[in-house]
Homo-oligomer: A and B are copies of this chain.
Amino acid sequence: MSKIRFYNARILTMEEPVQISGATELWVDGKEICYIGDGKAEMLSFDREIDCRGNLLMPGFKDAHTHSAMVLFRSMADDEPLQSWLNNLIFPIEGQMTDEEVYELTKLSVLEYLTSGVTAVFEMYLTPKSIQDAFNECGMRNVQVSGINNFGPALSVMEERFQTLNGRNELSSYMLGFHAEYTCSKELLQQIAEMAKKYKAPIFAHNSETKQEVEECISRYGMTPTQLMDSLGMFEYGGGGYHCVYMDEKDIQIFKERGLSVVTNPASNLKLASGIAPISKFLQNDINIAIGTDGAGSNNCLDMFREMFLVTGLAKYHDMDASSVDAAKVLKMATVGGAKAMGLTKCETLSVGSYADLIMLDLHQPNMQPINNIVKNIVYSGSKQNVKLTMIHGKILYEDGKFNIGCDVDALYDKCNQIASKYNKGRI
């Protein structure tokens, strides 16, 4: 682990208020930030000193809902509604995917996260052990959550994963959760709730993504998915929901009272014609909001800049109010809000003692000029093109278009294209 000095920087720590701090230097010692200031402290003997040329340092983005290996389905499964897309195309192929294939595809996703300034992912997918191996080998911080349902491994497997996949190292963790109400029996949901109590653990699941999902849950149980989960005692130790597009007042009160997190996925919700989440209402109720890309099968890219613009743009449209959900709020969701949802207490802001999970954004690109307001520039005009450097746990994994994740990028592309060929005969 090395000592790195960033100087001549603009710094957005994401502590309140959200604005450029007076500091121009940030020092990293091993995995942690050890100094933020004007550079007049006693210098360490640095392994590397990086002239930021006035570019911006800020916390990396947290992609708070994703299915990484679904990069396989990018541009393979478009232009279908959610349920037929899942049942006819995704589930049959997923039934055949091997641990090794998921491992390679997860590594491909890491490349894309790094180009988008993502330093941690909240992951739910098929083969948690091989997924964690892929992330850990690349150096990507990852919080996995169980996607248990009626059709996959038993509850005992989830418990075994919870015990073995936590504590392997500081980069990774594993949380309890399940796929969604509509893929789980009531008995299974009850067992999950018991396990949450046993381990005093939060629970996350897909929740109220489509109108149909909510209507069917009501016809089955006389309650919305949120109310059902709460009635089973599932949220005694917190957690939250992915999507949360169709939420009634009672659902919102449950989220507020239980301190749950909403993870919104606007690109996926548009592309699958699911709907627009009521972001302003969540904010009015002081509910923690995080942002996720969802998997590349439905999005189709892992780009937090696109998601951030959509969160604010769609809120303004939804509320018919151009002042809704301003840039600073969105930037907090993409950083602090994500870290909170994922339980990453040392990754929320740039501060001494926090993990060095940070990005450098190039302000010398035309989309960032003139520099009227950097926070608004990032959310309204920012792009992956602005990501000059991505550092996780003190290690630079991406810099000036070059990757440093311990494997050959072209060879990885070849492997993933071979996997895609196997499942997708009609490709061009």
Q: A: which residues have CB within 8 A of B?
A: 19-20, 71-76, 78-82, 85, 108-109, 111-112, 115, 267, 269-273, 275-276, 296, 299-303, 306, 309, 312-314, 316-317, 319-324, 326-327, 364-367, 369-377, 380-381, 383-385, 409-410, 413, 416-417, 419-420, 424, 427-428
Residues in B with CB closer than 8 Å to A75 are 327, 372-374, 376-377, 380-381
Residues in B with CB closer than 8 Å to A82 are 322
Bound together, the chains give a CA A2 to CA B121 distance in angstroms of: 48
- Contacts A380-B299, A383-B385, A428-B20 known; A76 to B366 CB distance under 8 Å? no
Residues in B with CB closer than 8 Å to A427 are 371-373
B381 to A384, Cβ gap below 8 A?
no
Residues in B with CB closer than 8 Å to A296 are 381
Residues in B with CB closer than 8 Å to A381 are 74-75, 296, 299-301, 303
Contact of A383 among B276, B303, B326 (CB under 8 A): B303
Contacts A299-B381, A385-B385 supplied; 12 other A-B pairs, CB < 8 Å: A76-B373, A78-B326, A112-B366, A115-B366, A271-B322, A299-B380, A303-B383, A364-B409, A369-B416, A370-B416, A371-B420, A371-B427
Bound together, the chains give a CA A364 to CA B411 distance in angstroms of: 11
A380 to B324, Cβ gap below 8 A?
no
Bound together, the chains give a CA A373 to CA B76 distance in angstroms of: 7
* Closest 3 A/B residue pairs (Cβ): A75-B376, A270-B313, A111-B366
Bound together, the chains give a CA A359 to CA B299 distance in angstroms of: 24
25 contacts between A and B (CB under 8 A): A73-B372, A74-B369, A75-B376, A78-B373, A78-B380, A79-B323, A115-B365, A267-B309, A267-B313, A271-B312, A271-B322, A271-B380, A272-B316, A272-B322, A296-B381, A301-B380, A303-B383, A364-B413, A369-B416, A370-B419, A371-B420, A372-B427, A374-B428, A383-B383, A384-B385
A387 CB, nearest partner CB in chain B, Å:
8
A217 CB, nearest partner CB in chain B, Å:
20
